[in-house]
Amino acid sequence: MHPALQAILAIIIVIALGGLFALGYFLNKKTKKPEGCEEITERCGSCEVTSCHFNKAHQKEGEEHDDTSK
């Protein structure tokens, strides 16, 4: 296969997969949580992974830390 065509195909595949992820993310945000799962973050108490968007407790800690650093 011609290298230029291969490069174009590679770009198309990456864009398509990126678009798939964006679509999934958008749909996931729009899908309502089932009843009883609204307060799912309560179980995050012992988790130290702060990057997770579920973990509101750690996000608050992060905000407080930012405030003190200013």
Q: Between residues 37 and 66, which has the closer beta carbon with respect to another protein?
A: 37
Tokens 């579920």, residue? 54
Q: Between residues 33 and 70, which has the closer beta carbon with respect to another protein?
A: 33
CB 17 within 8 A of CB 30: no
Smallest separation, CB 60 to another protein (Å)? 17
Smallest separation, CB 56 to another protein (Å)? 12
Q: 3-state SS of the chain: helix, strand, coil percent to 5?
A: 65, 0, 35
Rounded to whole angstroms, the Cα distance separating 49 from 57 reads: 11
Please report, as ranges, the residues that interact with another protein according to CB under 8 A: 1, 6, 9-10, 13-14, 17-18, 20-21, 23-25, 27-28, 31-37, 40-41, 43-44, 46-49, 51-54
